[in-house]
């Protein structure tokens, strides 16, 4: 299988929020994190714009920020985005990916979500790669 030449561009954002994870030792009590999110998008080399750019980094950053803006200073357990599921780092990453995909389809169709990284703490991270 041959991979086409492409570029991966990343931007980060962060938010502070609380959550609780029922059934998980110590995490079943409400607690907070300063979450960090890195959105990485893929653009095929053939899709470079006339200016030689794949996508403006600021657009990747805006997309990442928009994906988490309703999480800021909230109890994630109370948000509709987590209805029916615990607000784990895995679920945060999946939701960010879904939201970023929808935004990029409107604003920058040449860019596709390659992966989302979410740090719950400086040493605990999850990586989500949509299919």
**For 53-73, how does the pLDDT look when each residue is reduced to its tens digit (9 = 90+)?**
989 999 999 999 999 999 999
Low-confidence ranges of the chain (pLDDT < 70): 1-2
Provide the pLDDT for residue 57.
Answer: 95
Model-level pTM?
A: 0.94
Q: Give the tens place of pLDDT for each residue, 11-21.
A: 999 999 999 99
**Of 42, 48, 49, 47, the residue nearest 100 (C-alpha):** 42
- Topology at the third CATH level for domain 6-128: Tetrahydropterin Synthase; Chain A (3.30.479)
Average of per-residue pLDDT values in the chain:
95
As a whole number of angstroms, the distance between CA 67 and CA 79 comes to 13
Residue with the two structure tokens 């928009």: 66
**For the chain, domain boundaries:** 6-128
């Amino acid at each position: 299988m041959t991979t086409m030449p492409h570029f991966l561009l990343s931007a980060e954002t962060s938010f502070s929020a609380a959550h609780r994870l029922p059934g998980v030792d110590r995490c079943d009590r409400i607690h907070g994190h300063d979450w960090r999110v890195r959105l990485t998008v893929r653009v095929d080399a053939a899709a470079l714009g006339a200016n030689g750019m794949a996508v403006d980094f600021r657009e990747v950053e805006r997309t990442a920020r928009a994906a988490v803006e309703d999480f800021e200073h909230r109890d994630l357990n109370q948000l509709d985005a987590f209805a029916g599921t615990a607000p784990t780092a895995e679920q945060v990453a999946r939701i960010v990916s879904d939201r970023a995909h929808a935004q990029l389809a409107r604003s920058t169709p040449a860019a596709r979500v390659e992966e989302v990284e979410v740090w719950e703490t400086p040493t605990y991270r999850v990586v989500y790669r949509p299919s």
